[in-house]
Structure 1
Amino acid sequence: MTGEHMSPDEFRRLGHEYVDWVASYWERVGELPVQSTVAPGEVFASLPASPPSTGADDLAAVLADVDELILPGLTHWQHPSFFAFFPANTSGPGVLADLLSSGLGVNGMNWATSPACTEVEMRMLDWFVELLGLPDHLRHDHDGPGGGVLQDSASSATLVALLAARKRVTDGGDLSRLRAYTSEHAHSSVVKGARVAGLADDQVRLVPADATHAMRADALADAIEADVAAGLVPFFCCATAGTTSSMAFDPVPEIADICATSGIWCHVDAAMAGSAAVCPELRWVTDGAERVDSWSFNPHKWLFTTFDCTCLWFRDARPVVDALSITPVYLRNEQSESGAVVDFRDWQVPLGRRFRALKPWLVMRHYGADGLARHIREHVRLGRLLADRVLDDPRFELAAPPALNLVVLRCTGDDADRRTTELLERVNASGEALLTPTVLDGRPAIRVCVGQTWTTQVHVDALWALLERSLSS
């Protein structure tokens, strides 16, 4: 009879088939075109207009549809020649943890709704503090008001920090005098978060950057001083440790000092670059973390943790709880009322919470600190290898100083901007690799981000050969 619940035995059988399909996909993904070539609406049109009236007898048949209908419409982020955006590098332990989370199906909104969901997360955030060399006052087991929480993305982390900062200076009402600050090269999520927090775009000051594309601390101080003189209320600043376009590092220690002097909440977005701190020799990426109000990074970018998983820490979490805690009677319980537990629903915008902490738990238990550091070091080495080839070839130039696993390049010579754009288009159209465009100093450039799980020097060498071949075509 169709429409019945799947039995544990049937789930077990199908689970083996689905896991086998994923494993086979990982084995063959390098042979597929990196970027999808379907036309707009093509996948939509290939699916039935109405849902089935009776259920399928065997969901194994769906895998054939995945191969035929879904795969052609995917850009393969797990392809070893995926050098675009950032490395959303999944892994076996990350996927297995997602399976566990989905199978358990718990909602960890309060401690009482599943104590392990909360307490494993607390311990994982403390593990990350040690793994990255962050200050101890961010730990849950430290005697203080700080601690960390998992969010879905850096965008949500920035929004939560914004809301806490807003609560610290106003209980609502007229927000028109509030002013926030970030670099002109900061991620768009800062302005988007400000919109959600009730601010207009012009209430976010985009502070000029220096020649390395990092925020100028003196320009930040000048902007704050001018706004105070105009009767406005500076309340939030987002510094970036590793900007999207060029991996520039804002001077966090100086920015934090300026913010502290002015009573401004200082948040750091270290979305991808924060992962590099698993290598002790690269812990300069966390400079200034001991002075800021909040600090975040994404294990799902470059740390083999399946999307989504973002770590957000607070030096003092009380303003966050003040901003986001609403407790109707159906959420009250003895443990929460006693103050003896953490309710992470008060540390985020949604109420519901999935068991994300299983992902870093399995990933760290599989790789260990040494294993994670080894893979990060190799990606940094491959990035430097590519940068050196750019420097040695007069047909190319670096558009920004090479940093960690990111290389930003452009063509040289006559009509360089047009040829840079055309080069990028040829490479991406080839299906052999995928790169991302950006603009630096008003000119087009090409971002190459090395960090996919299965990327090796073979793939970086192939990319360089493709760039040379595409340049001359």
Structure 2
Amino acid sequence: MQRQDFVSATEHIADWIADYWHTLRDRPVRPSTVPGSVSAALPDLPPADTDTIRAVLDDFDRIVAPNLTHWQHPRFFAYFPANVSPASVLADMLIAATGVNAMLWETSPAATELEETMMDWLKTLMDLPPLWHGVIQDTASSATLAAVLMAREKVTDGRAATKGLAGLPPLSVYTTAEAHSSVEKAVRIAGLGSDGLRIVPHDDDFAMRADALAAMIADDRAAGRLPALVVATVGTTGVGACDPVADIADVAGTEGLLLHVDAAWAGTAALCPEFRAPFAGLDRADSYVFNPHKWMGVGFDCSAHFVADRALLTRTFSVNPAYLQTTDGVTNYRDWGVPLGRRMRALKLWFVLRLEGADRLRAMIRDHVAWADWLARLVAEAPDFDLVTGPALSLLSFRFAPGGTDAATADRLTGALLDAVNRDGFTYLTRTLVAGRPVIRFQIGPMTTDWSDVEAAWTRVRTLAADLHPGVAAE
């Protein structure tokens, strides 16, 4: 591609992005795509000759764009947010253009030292322990895997890494049924098996019971198991539950287990001092992760992982062939996780924190939490709906339960309502189970959202509910 062609294409793409963001509110959140229709629109074979950038962009507009689910949409209230700010997009352009591999300090000194500094900035902004050491992983799943492997390294004194797990007592990792699925995946990858994941009972608020944790550890020791790690969550995916980190740290410290805290979504709320109460005791964790690529406007992927013992983390992952041996006395992030190759993700944090600013991010978080409170009141006051959980920060869940319906009917109607909402496309919501029964999650997180979007989505939910069941008021 010639220079002028590249400049012209980037100008076109920049205009497309600006128009896309400007028109998002007028689009459905989800497309009405039929499975297989996108692949059917693509050629069976790759081209042998070059194509024009104009043709590629036209096909993007024709095939790809109409079949996207719009995660940046102001009425995207499903899952958790994956916010992308303009500042992050600009940084990603430079990351792609420079093509830096940040595996070693010498392969790009600026990438390494920028990452070190950005992790220090996050510690300052969120009042995290100053002696922690930080690294940007791709996702919280990778950070959780790192924590499991660190615990395996420590509790087996390195034997698992050198000789394998054969001949060792079975290892145990403790969490609750509300923890993210990545915990079980990490336990499997680490070779501990699903039986090595011990599910600790939770209380009525879905928070881990520290007394039950202590009892399970004692029972496992008596049964010949080797307790290794506790994974606590601040802001679970299902309902936003928060485990009592300080109480869990007491148990982990007494029993000699590592403690990993997963705050992938909720961690960004710690930018605001008034939302830090659930993080009490966090300074005693051995590993902690939250995702700036969820609620902070830093485009995917950017997961902030902190550890108390840098040497344990690097010992767990370091493999040092001759072709990777390099300068001593510097940080080489290839030893801080599974991948060798690494993108210069810190540039996105740098751009976002400078161009968006911490105060603007705090204001957004406070708005989202306030709007979740207002929405919860509307749900609680609606005669045909039950507010089931929350709000936990900006997340709540509800059930469609018209007067006179039994539990089975309410569950069926709740599922039918969610299907109707997501077929409609005006907003996008997701499901979870609470005490074994289906509920609808509503999580406010997009940077583009204002209260009118929340209110409009709730109005549409009620309208669709009225279509499903006679006698239900539309508003």
TM-score above 0.5: yes
Question: What is the aligned partner in structure 2 of residue 300 from structure 1?
Answer: 293
Q: Which of 26, 30, 52 is the equivalent residue of 2:25?
A: 30
Q: Which of 390, 397, 422 is the equivalent residue of 1:401?
A: 390
Question: What is the aligned partner in structure 2 of residue 8 from structure 1?
Answer: 3
The alpha carbon displacement at 1:176 in A equals 5.4
The alpha carbon displacement at 1:286 in A equals 2.3
Give yes or no for the alignment of 1:154 onto 2:143: no
Q: Deviation string for 1:157-195 (max 9, x for gaps)?
A: 100111111111222122551111111110000000111
Work out the CA distance in 2 between the residues paired with 1:393 and 1:40. 36
The alpha carbon displacement at 1:105 in A equals 0.5
Work out the CA distance in 2 between the residues paired with 1:398 and 1:133. 33
Question: What is the aligned partner in structure 2 of residue 289 from structure 1?
Answer: 282
Question: What is the aligned partner in structure 2 of residue 127 from structure 1?
Answer: 121
Is the 1:165–1:319 contact (alpha carbons within 8 Å) kept by the matching residues of 2? no
The alpha carbon displacement at 1:30 in A equals 2.0
Work out the CA distance in 1 between the residues paired with 2:308 and 2:188. 25
Give yes or no for the alignment of 1:351 onto 2:346: no
Q: Deviation string for 1:386-414 (max 9, x for gaps)?
A: 11111222211221131111011112341
Question: What is the aligned partner in structure 2 of residue 239 from structure 1?
Answer: 232
Work out the CA distance in 2 between the residues paired with 1:11 and 1:285. 49
Work out the CA distance in 1 between the residues paired with 2:76 and 2:61. 20
Number of positions where the alignment pairs a residue of Structure 1 with one of Structure 2: 455
- Give runs of aligned pairs for residues 291-440 of structure 1, distance below 5 A: 291-333=284-326, 335=327, 338=328, 340-412=329-401, 413=403, 414=405, 415-440=409-434
Is the 1:407–1:448 contact (alpha carbons within 8 Å) kept by the matching residues of 2? yes
Segments of 5+ residues of structure 1 without an aligned counterpart are 1-5, 139-146
Q: Deviation string for 1:75-133 (max 9, x for gaps)?
A: 11111111000110111001111111011111010111101110000000010011111
Question: What is the aligned partner in structure 1 of residue 270 from structure 2?
Answer: 277
The alpha carbon displacement at 1:9 in A equals 2.9
Q: Which of 185, 192, 203 is the equivalent residue of 1:199?
A: 192
Greater Cα offset, 402-411 or 304-313? 402-411
Work out the CA distance in 2 between the residues paired with 1:280 and 1:55. 55
The alpha carbon displacement at 1:280 in A equals 1.4
Which secondary structure state, in structure 2, belongs to the residue aligned with residue 301 of structure 1? helix
Which secondary structure state, in structure 2, belongs to the residue aligned with residue 402 of structure 1? strand
Which secondary structure state, in structure 2, belongs to the residue aligned with residue 238 of structure 1? strand
Give yes or no for the alignment of 1:109 onto 2:103: yes
Is the 2:245–2:278 contact (alpha carbons within 8 Å) kept by the matching residues of 1? no
Give yes or no for the alignment of 1:49 onto 2:44: yes
Question: What is the aligned partner in structure 2 of residue 21 from structure 1?
Answer: 16
Letter of the structure 2 residue corresponding to residue 204 of structure 1? L
Question: What is the aligned partner in structure 2 of residue 3 from structure 1?
Answer: none
The alpha carbon displacement at 1:293 in A equals 0.2
Give yes or no for the alignment of 1:165 onto 2:151: yes
Give yes or no for the alignment of 1:217 onto 2:205: no
Question: What is the aligned partner in structure 2 of residue 76 from structure 1?
Answer: 70
Work out the CA distance in 2 between the residues paired with 1:7 and 1:166. 52
The alpha carbon displacement at 1:417 in A equals 1.1
Is the 2:87–2:352 contact (alpha carbons within 8 Å) kept by the matching residues of 1? yes
Q: Deviation string for 1:401-458 (max 9, x for gaps)?
A: 3111101111234121111111111111111000001101111000001011211111
TM-score by length of 1: 0.94
Work out the CA distance in 2 between the residues paired with 1:26 and 1:85. 20
Work out the CA distance in 1 between the residues paired with 2:115 and 2:2. 31
Letter of the structure 2 residue corresponding to residue 93 of structure 1? A
Work out the CA distance in 2 between the residues paired with 1:327 and 1:317. 17
Which secondary structure state, in structure 2, belongs to the residue aligned with residue 354 of structure 1? coil
Which secondary structure state, in structure 1, belongs to the residue aligned with residue 357 of structure 2? helix
Work out the CA distance in 1 between the residues paired with 2:40 and 2:278. 47
Is the 1:88–1:301 contact (alpha carbons within 8 Å) kept by the matching residues of 2? yes
Percent identity reads 47
Letter of the structure 1 residue corresponding to residue 322 of structure 2? V
- Give runs of aligned pairs for residues 238-257 of structure 1, distance below 5 A: 238-257=231-250
Greater Cα offset, 405-414 or 371-380? 405-414
Work out the CA distance in 1 between the residues paired with 2:37 and 2:76. 23
The alpha carbon displacement at 1:276 in A equals 0.5
- Give runs of aligned pairs for residues 55-70 of structure 1, distance below 5 A: 55-56=50-51, 58-70=52-64
The alpha carbon displacement at 1:7 in A equals 2.8
Segments of 5+ residues of structure 2 without an aligned counterpart are 468-475
Work out the CA distance in 1 between the residues paired with 2:50 and 2:273. 54
Which secondary structure state, in structure 1, belongs to the residue aligned with residue 31 of structure 2? coil
Letter of the structure 2 residue corresponding to residue 347 of structure 1? W
Q: Deviation string for 1:9-37 (max 9, x for gaps)?
A: 32222111111111111112222221122
Question: What is the aligned partner in structure 1 of residue 130 from structure 2?
Answer: 136
TM-score by length of 2: 0.94
Q: Deviation string for 1:333-368 (max 9, x for gaps)?
A: 2x2xx3x11111000101001100001100000121
Which secondary structure state, in structure 2, belongs to the residue aligned with residue 150 of structure 1? strand
Which secondary structure state, in structure 1, belongs to the residue aligned with residue 293 of structure 2? coil
Is the 1:324–1:347 contact (alpha carbons within 8 Å) kept by the matching residues of 2? yes
Is the 1:181–1:205 contact (alpha carbons within 8 Å) kept by the matching residues of 2? yes
Is the 1:158–1:189 contact (alpha carbons within 8 Å) kept by the matching residues of 2? yes
Greater Cα offset, 169-178 or 184-193? 169-178
